[in-house]
A and B are shown apart, each in its own frame.
Chain A
Amino acid sequence: MPRLLDYVVIRRDPLDLDHTGQSELLGFHVRAGAVTSPDSLPALTFQARAPSSRVPGPSPDLGGRVDLEILVNGLPTGVVRITLDSVRGVWRTFSEPRLNADSSANFVQFRSEQGLARISDVVLWYQRDVQL
């Protein structure tokens, strides 16, 4: 049974963490056969930038340091410290918790421990065993 790359787009649109302590919970499903063995760990990727005023046009590039705690299925995967002097691409691999590969949902939670951030383009990359 081949093991192939897969991904799920969890959220395309931006979400703003407007104040320290705010969190946002996003649900998603992975498909049957998802594996999380040590050589096949999932990777969560997202874009982070400073939140803008809600006017059309490019997001401003202002902002400071933000500490983002990322939880998967309620368990912490660690805190990412980034300086949002410009837009950033961030990814994070994690060995725990395990993903629910049955029909039940998974959840990723972004929580601001310090600072403000706009999160977008959240994608989980993972591997799964596929019956072709």
Chain B
Amino acid sequence: MARVADYFVVHVAPFDVGPGGESPAMVFTVHTDAVVDRSDAAPVLSYQCRPLSDEPAALRIDISGDSIEHVTVSVNTVRAMWKTFDGNLLHPGLGADNNVKFRNTGAGSIRISDVIVWYQRNVE
């Protein structure tokens, strides 16, 4: 058995989240053999974001309803972001739904794109 990295592209196209707004819950799946119990093999959520105004955006990110990030983003330039999170938040299995949702509790709008979940698997 080998442990390998894998990923799921959750969302490609840019979408905007205004003040007080939230994204739809974007569904993704991970394979049944996903590693969920090792801190050194924790999953990683990566995304691009760009504030759209002078006011900062305050992003909260949920994975299947559990908060994994609360970060303030300002300055109108694109940036690459990633957040490691607890593998136990994943529901392995191609028939099991996981989802990621972005909420903006700040005063400014933000544009998000290229949302990817990276994780590890034990492959026979």
Interface residues of A (CB under 8 A from B): 4-10, 12, 28-29, 31, 45, 47, 49, 57-61, 85-89, 91, 121, 123, 130-132
Contact = CB atoms under 8 A, between A and B. Distances in A.
B56 A61 contact: yes
B72 A59 contact: yes
B81 interface: yes
B26 interface: no
Contacts of A8: 40-41
A61 B73 contact: yes
B82 interface: yes
B100 interface: no
A9 to B, nearest CB: 4
Chain B's interface: helix, strand, loop or mixed, by majority? strand
10 contacts: A5-B4, A6-B120, A45-B82, A47-B82, A47-B83, A59-B72, A86-B56, A86-B75, A89-B79, A123-B82
B73 A121 contact: no
Interface of B: 2-5, 39-42, 44, 51, 56, 58, 70-75, 79-85, 118, 120, 123
Q: Identify which of B42, B58, B72, B79 gathers the most chain A CB atoms within 10 Å of its CB.
A: B72
B60 to A, nearest CB: 9
B81 A47 contact: yes
Contacts of B51: 86
Contacts of B5: 4-7
Nearest to B2: A130
A122 to B, nearest CB: 8
Given A9-B44, A31-B3, 18 more contacts: A5-B5, A6-B120, A7-B44, A7-B120, A9-B42, A12-B85, A28-B40, A47-B81, A47-B82, A85-B75, A87-B73, A89-B79, A121-B82, A121-B83, A121-B84, A123-B82, A131-B2, A132-B123
A36 to B, nearest CB: 17
Nearest to B41: A9
A63 to B, nearest CB: 11
Nearest to A8: B40
